[in-house]
Structure 1
Amino acid sequence: MTVPEEKPSSEKPSDPPRTPRRSAAALAAVLDQAASSLTNIAVLVIAARVSTVHGFATFSMVYLTFTVLLGLNVAYVGQAVVLTRGDTGAACRSAIAFTSLASTVVGVLLAAVGAVTGGWAGPGGAFLALGLVLPLVLVQDGLRYAFSTLRRPGLALAADTLRLMCVVPALLLQPRHAAPGLLVAVWGVSAVPALLLGLRLLWPHVRGSRADLRPYVRRGHLGQRFVVEFAVGNASSQLAVLGLGLFAAPLAVGALRGATTLFGPLNVLFNSVNAFGPPLLNRLGGRRATTRAAALLGLVLSAVGLAWGLVLYALPDHVGRQLLGSTWQLAATLLPASGAQYAVMGLGTCALVTLRVLRPRATLSVQVVFSLLSVVLMLAGYLLTGSALGAAWGLAAGSALKAVAAWTRVARLRVEETTPTAPSPAVPAN
């Protein structure tokens, strides 16, 4: 028996370690997302524990404002910079410079509004504090996308872990019934160590590059499309909740945010599906295999949402008060509605991920129509019942309708694939 002659490998010696490095980078990205989400959960839980019911409602409105501003910055700057090709160092430096400038301008406006609309203990003081710390927290979060562009998720993980380690003890040291403005200020200032570490880690990668802000103010900047998608997909419901608190029922905002905070671990799970679902589904090949895998994952996520909701609903009152303080009593009444919402959100998330893989342009119309419908249903639920519970069931109904619409769109794509195309008529030869 002859032994086949071995051919020399065309791979470079450095090729084999690529898979472990990619796996480590993916793990670092997942852990960074988890650290960021855990920070948001911890902030709201601790704020609820040290605040009065009214104080947490005010803090929730301010934190919701920050969440909207953060989402706009991520859409306009973060999602655009990660698509950069070429000089990533200059792109990252430009992104951080634009975030610093824009957040300072918005922060000054917020601080001015807060200064003329009330005392330190009320909403005015909390918005004043948010305006003062806004550049710190937005730039610190923006560094995550710079490190992602540079393919250095481990550096983002280091900075965000430090952020978590600083904010938790800083808030825990605050006195009982602390003013919302004080909590916002402490939360913002606690970002300074992570901000300084992130800038120090970024410096070697952007040294010698020049910032150019002109692309961010030009018509046609890619972030403008992402802002539209964010506005109709996420910001619309958040702004509706904020409006509900400002003009109707501030306590409803605290109750809704308290209940949502308890489902924070599921948000981490859904975000991971959004981030890593498309590339994994792309490897499955045809539409049928992709759809089946996504549907199975959606059922699993739905079951997890229901199970988590049942666990929270079964919590004894003394445990709930340990988590959310005096806000627990209001938030506990919303748990059935929030549990139902997260169950259908699991199905809807997988449907939208499937559409993103099979036909990316099909997601925008679903997001626009049914996100706005969710806002209408939330406000209608509140007006009909006069309580946060009605608003919560309205949000659950909107999420259910979005899931149904998304899966209906997926089913139509499968029908289009399986429908045979009529053969072209034969052309007679001359």
Structure 2
Amino acid sequence: MSRRGLAAVSSVLDQAASSATNILVLVLAARLSSASGFAGFSMVYVTFSVLLGLNMAYVGQTVVLEKGQGLPPDEAGAGLAVVCRSSVLFTAAASAVAGLVLAVVGLALTGATGRGFLALGLVLPLVLVQDGLRYCFSALRVPQRALAADTLRLVCVVAALAVQPSGASASRLVLVWGLSALPALGLGLWLLRPFVRGARAELRPYLRRGHLGQRFVVEFAVGNGSSQLAVLGLGAFATPLAVGALRGATTLFGPLNVLFNSANAFGPPVVGRAAGKRGVVRMTALMGVVLAVLGGGWAAVLYALPDRLGRHLLGDTWTAASALLPATGAQYAVMGLGTCALLTLRVLNPKATLSLQVVFSLLSVALLLGGHALWGVTGAAWGLAAGSALKAAAAWLRVARLRVPAPEAEALAA
């Protein structure tokens, strides 16, 4: 296998390891907790997911894109070392500030929820810095090092949570989950050290107006972050049990997230080689149909799962989560179509995606909240499915109406 092929395989496996970690954390937490306990853990974990996404958008994506561009060949390595060291230090500083805010919020709140947010504030710098190292390794074109660190992270967190007693509190589970990142963090920093030794960190670019990450944060906020915050809002203003049910249902579809993320990460270079707009659309439409069929098929498998096996996966949360499987399965089926429509637009006209994300992500939030107001948590799940379907339809309509100028069409065919 060529070096490029090995890097691609390592990147996919690293994404799979990271996704498996998130899935197994929620599965183990659900099995160890009561339905109400998992609901509290889910509220904390959704908060972490939003902060993780913001860090990925503001820091991670810019690290991957700023691969020493504009530097002479003999200075590219040194420039990339500065970028990587700077990203690690900025993530550490920013996550420490965010962790302090969470700790203050946790102290202000009462009960198990407050203790859960306090625990998250204490461990947030560990988990965000550990996750952020993968973008450095991607930029350095050594994803196998990210795979080594993230595999160790997976092993440690599963082992640490597996030995926790049944009925463990949300705060205890959050602390164990966060502290279990220490071995992977240490390994990742050790693997990164040869590449950044002697480099000087520059934090000012992250604080300047117009930093590239600011655009990515907007896209994340209106795309993924808005729906995550809406789910979190259900726990604050409706019932935490709704958060646990929704989170439990989406956890079961974790394997599909690996495929969606891989399509976003590795799709553009592959699709971009197709001949003109027609070739691009033909390829992405086929990918969308395949992902939609996989989503529907996976939903059918989960729906047919005996209750005994379902409880083995999610514990007491299975009863509420299983009722949402038809809606969540429909959502993931149309998400496959929508993911490939947005992938098409990124290849043909990257500027065409932001307006779609803004309008239809906010519409999804409105449908989620409206569905919950009318039909409870089941209505919320169907609201998310309807929002994803409308976004997919609008994205493919934009693709159909998109005109590719002749020079761009020739470039796509090259």
TM-score (norm 2): 0.94
Query: Residue 329 of structure 1 is aligned with which of 311, 319, 325?
Result: 319
Alignment of 1:158-173 (within 5 A): 158-173=148-163
Amino acid at match of 1:78: G
2:106 corresponds to which residue? 114
2:81 corresponds to which residue? 89
1:99 matched to 2:88: no
Alignment of 1:198-277 (within 5 A): 198-277=188-267
Q: Does the aligned pair in 1 maintain the 2:31–2:315 contact within 8 Å? A: yes
Task: Give the Cα separation in 2 of the matches to 1:238 and 1:276.
Answer: 25
Query: Residue 375 of structure 1 is aligned with which of 365, 368, 371?
Result: 365
Task: Give the Cα separation in 1 of the matches to 2:389 and 2:108.
Answer: 42
Tell me which protein shows more helix as a share of its residues: 2
1:345 matched to 2:335: yes
**Per-residue deviation, residues 52-104 of structure 1 (Å, max 9, x unmatched):** 10000000000000000000011111111112223100110000000000100
Q: Does the aligned pair in 1 maintain the 2:277–2:404 contact within 8 Å? A: no
Q: Does the aligned pair in 1 maintain the 2:56–2:132 contact within 8 Å? A: yes
Amino acid at match of 1:246: A
Amino acid at match of 1:353: L
Task: Give the Cα separation in 1 of the matches to 2:227 and 2:152.
Answer: 31
Task: Give the Cα separation in 1 of the matches to 2:368 and 2:227.
Answer: 8
**Per-residue deviation, residues 402-426 of structure 1 (Å, max 9, x unmatched):** 0000000011126988xxxxxxxxx
Q: Against the structure 1 CA distance between its residues 415 and 215, is the aligned structure 2 distance closer, same or farther, given a 3 Å change threshold?
A: closer
Q: Does the aligned pair in 2 maintain the 1:167–1:187 contact within 8 Å? A: yes
Could you tell me how far 1:204 is from its partner in structure 2? 0.7
Task: Give the Cα separation in 1 of the matches to 2:337 and 2:136.
Answer: 32
Alignment of 1:7-86 (within 5 A): 20-84=2-66, 85=68, 86=76
1:392 corresponds to which residue? 381
Could you tell me how far 1:374 is from its partner in structure 2? 0.2
Q: Against the structure 1 CA distance between its residues 416 and 171, is the aligned structure 2 distance closer, same or farther, given a 3 Å change threshold?
A: same
Q: Does the aligned pair in 2 maintain the 1:81–1:145 contact within 8 Å? A: yes
Could you tell me how far 1:107 is from its partner in structure 2? 0.4
Query: Residue 390 of structure 2 is aligned with which of 392, 401, 411?
Result: 401
Task: Give the Cα separation in 2 of the matches to 1:286 and 1:116.
Answer: 57
Task: Give the Cα separation in 1 of the matches to 2:330 and 2:247.
Answer: 16
Q: Does the aligned pair in 2 maintain the 1:288–1:414 contact within 8 Å? A: no
Q: Against the structure 1 CA distance between its residues 160 and 415, is the aligned structure 2 distance closer, same or farther, given a 3 Å change threshold?
A: closer
Q: How big is the alpha-carbon RMSD for the aligned residues of Structure 1 and Structure 2?
A: 1.1
User: Which ranges of structure 2 fall in alignment gaps of 5 or more residues?
Assistant: 69-75, 407-414
1:311 corresponds to which residue? 301
Could you tell me how far 1:116 is from its partner in structure 2? 2.5
Amino acid at match of 2:15: Q
Task: Give the Cα separation in 2 of the matches to 1:212 and 1:304.
Answer: 45
Which ranges of 4 or more aligned residues in structure 1 deviate by more than 4 Å? Answer: 414-417
| Farther-moved stretch of structure 1 (188-197 vs 213-222) | 213-222
Task: Give the Cα separation in 1 of the matches to 2:202 and 2:292.
Answer: 45
Query: Residue 400 of structure 2 is aligned with which of 411, 419, 422?
Result: 411
TM-score (norm 1): 0.91
Amino acid at match of 2:58: Y
Task: Give the Cα separation in 1 of the matches to 2:267 and 2:202.
Answer: 34
Alignment of 1:145-164 (within 5 A): 145-164=135-154
Task: Give the Cα separation in 2 of the matches to 1:27 and 1:115.
Answer: 44
